[in-house]
Chain A
Amino acid sequence: MTTDRSGAATTVVGAAVAAPEPDPSRAPRPGPADRTAFRAEPGAAALRRIGLLVLAAVPLALLLVFFLYPVGSILALGLTGPHGPDLDAFAQVAARARFLRIAFFTVWQAAASAAISVILGVPGAYLLYRRRFRGRAVARALATVPFVLPTVVVGLAFRTLFAPNGWLGALGWDGSVATILAAHVFFNYAVVVRTVGATWAHLDTRPVEAARSLGAGPVRAFATVTLPALAPAIASAAIMAFLFCATSFGVILVLGAGRWDTLETEIYRQTAQVGDLPTAAVLSIAQIVLVTLVLVGAARIRRAGERALRLRSAVDTARPLSKRDAPAVLTGVLAAALIALPIAILVVRSLQTPTGWGLGNYRNLATVGEHNVLLVPGTQALANSLASAAIAAVLSVAVGVTLCVVLARRPVGRLARRAIGALDGVMMLPLGVSAVTVGFGFLIALDRPPLDFRSSSLLVPIAQAMIATPLVVRMVLPVLRAADQRLRQAAAVLGAGPVRVWASVDLPIMSRALGGAAAFALATGLGEFGATTFVARPETVTLPVMIGRLLSRPGTVNTGMALAAGVLLTVGCAAVVLLVDMVSSRGGRDSGIGGF
């Protein structure tokens, strides 16, 4: 208690303090009209607990049937032989140089892609979040688009770009690793820019100013003050990029052309072409171990970085561009070209037919392709895509929000806290396990009694929802957790029960993030390739699967159809995400959809 404070307060209310005698008007006053007696409900607390358990049980049951059981089946397949548990399958796989080469390639191409993404993305984050220029909001939104584009489509676009007759054919990169790395950077540029940018934008600028006033030049100030502060964000972005590239399937399948294989494509080859399921299972297990190791490391880094950062509120401290930003601008132009050229050539080539410019390729989508490659026309695949993506989005949002309700609670009891922590970890599992593993697991686990889903048309959307749900949770949960707990208390004190508190406080708070999550889930469903390839039957193919099938067969009609379908998917995914970005940034805040 400082003296000046109490002194001033005494002055303010001096008259009252000076009154020595109790004021007669202070005699106990009549109370307000009393409300009816309390509605004491002895079972209310127990009921609420049961309700929460049921809420948690629904997503858990889905996870059990559609994730843990399939993945468990893979483990069983890989770790047991005809005479009980053994590691024969492992020994056989490890003995073949081809698989070791594939495992090595999986890791090094992912590391290289992540490194290039960081080198290009950090200057990009600087430009888009620390500098102000005309069109910055548009540039930020456009930089996000690649992340949601379907992998097969991007593979197709880069293949077209670097093909001998493509715009960059002169580089001679056709069929080389360079095209794979370029496509991976295309995807992960956005991840790095948005993750690092979000931190950079809110970084307290005063430590840099202090360093400069102590005699550090701009480079030294950056290296000694800014870079260490950004390090956790950069590490987190790099790990996300690494994971994405290590589980890359569509891009490798299209660009690898059989010369380059990762664990993912090899799982697919062993399953679909060789028919060696035990080997595929062993490769899946290797993939799961690799991803889990990376995720555990990532959690460590995240925990170490969380306490250190000192962020400022969302005041825009960005400055206008200056001449000294030229190197950053140069990398920005390079990245813009990397993003724009493949999309541009995709659109241009889709409009070129053997008979000249026109919409022939799009009209061909109504057919089953050259040599009847497809069982159903492309328009049917389009309808399948839209339907399954919509169902997957609804499903993943419903399950994701239910989970968030449970996970956002901060219970008092230690046991309950542990249970929630465990649930949190279990729900993130699908995020770590690749789409191909999920698809492969569906294939071997859900096609025989008691769980025979082969004929169910819901299998594709369910697989897509399994992949999209962790994304929804990751986007919505931080918003709910950051919300002021006292808002919920204020509502409760005013008489709102748990359901009304949730509907009138939690729901409005998370509505933006929820919109973004729904859009991402929809885009994920539209572009999903890895799991859908395994699960879709000929008549339930989606557009990405159809593109994959068309590309595996020669013929200009087929290639043209693939290009046209790719453009449709690109437009669809980009539109969904840009729409949400526009809506969510209209409030003047930085949009909530950067936090993938």
Chain B
Amino acid sequence: MLQLTGVTVRYGSFTAVQDVSLRIADGEVVALLGPSGCGKSTLLRAIAGIEPLAAGRIEWDGVDLARIPVHRRGFGLMFQDGVLFPHRTVAGNVGYGLPRGLWARPDAAARVTQLLDMVGLAGYGDRRVATLSGGEAQRVALARALAPRPRLLLLDEPLAALDMSLRAGLLADLEEVLRSTGTAAVFVTHDRGEAFAVADRVALMRAGRIVQIGAPAEVRAEPVDAEAARFLGLDGHEGGVMHGMARGARRAAAAGVVDASAADDSSVHPQRR
């Protein structure tokens, strides 16, 4: 179980992530949904251990991760555009994170084959990375991230670099893979369709904070405020939605995700008044 408490990340004087608290249960898929620049990718990188925290704690099963370096966390990270190792083959990429050592070799080869099967790229092992299409590269990146059986999979806009037609296919596969392996995952996206399709819970982020969190249907039915409603593509002027919006805000405040004043649009985004 992953527990974030008051996580804050700063770049110089700019605060990218501010006081985020979040709990992710084993096997749960949480989507971080928000416009670009809202700090969702930074939060993901902080969980991975790439960005140092300015304040707050990240714990896994009660163990503080502050002193655990990136490579010892056992989390998988999938980048927006794959970031495959260009000098390795497909199999070399997928097998990179597997335990090394003489006795592990035959096992590793079998695992690579199994994963390439799982992402629909059986027989691609010897291909050079440069020969892959965008969708294939993302599938390899997914297989690479899953190979070491990470306890948590971090997905940073895994579909954003793909064509619309490829997205639907990979999204379905991704959901299937997450479901079948039972891997807990944090899925960062700016696309509400993706978030609602894949996640058990959706966390709506804005200006470095989580403004609302809940099951997809819940978030959709009761956006926390007008801006959330606009971002979710819901018409904020319909009475029902307005009603639901207020309820959402109260619920979020009660859950301690946002302070009650965040329900007032102006305090979150003064310039949008």
Contacts and interface: CB of A to CB of B under 8 A. Distances in A.
Contacts of B63: 37-38, 40
Nearest to B168: A12
A497 B154 CA distance: 19
A41 B71 CA distance: 12
Contacts of B218: 22
Interface in B184-220: 184, 190-194, 196-197, 200, 215-218, 220
Contacts of B96: 491, 494, 496, 504
A9 B192 CA distance: 8
Contact of A493 (B70, B179, B200, B217): B70
A489 B50 contact: yes
A25 B178 CA distance: 12
Interface string B57-83: 000110101011111111111010001
A145 to B, nearest CB: 29
Contacts of A14: 193
Given A17-B196, A490-B85, A492-B71, A29 B164 contact: no
B118 interface: no
B149 to A, nearest CB: 5
Contacts of B28: 28-29
B149 A33 contact: yes
B237 interface: no
A252 to B, nearest CB: 45
B182 interface: yes
Contacts of B52: 412
Interface size class of A (residues with CB under 8 A): 35 or more
Given A6-B192, A16-B196, A29-B28, A493 B151 contact: no
B171 interface: yes
A508 interface: yes
Interface string A19-39: 111100110111111110111
A32 B149 contact: yes
Nearest to A37: B63
Interface in B14-53: 25-28, 35, 45, 48-50, 52
Given A29-B28, A31-B151, A10 B193 contact: yes
A134 interface: no
A356 interface: no
Contact of A484 (B48, B72, B83): B83
Interface of A: 1, 3, 5-10, 12-14, 16-17, 19-22, 25-26, 28-35, 37-42, 44-45, 412, 484, 486-487, 489-497, 501, 504-505, 508-509
Given A10-B192, A25-B179, A494-B145, 8 more contacts: A9-B167, A29-B27, A29-B182, A44-B67, A45-B67, A495-B74, A496-B97, A508-B87
16 contacts: A6-B193, A7-B233, A12-B193, A16-B196, A17-B193, A17-B196, A19-B217, A20-B217, A28-B27, A29-B28, A30-B182, A34-B61, A38-B63, A44-B69, A494-B145, A501-B71
A-B pairs, top 7 by smallest CB distance, nearest first, are A29-B27, A494-B97, A31-B26, A9-B193, A16-B197, A492-B70, A13-B197
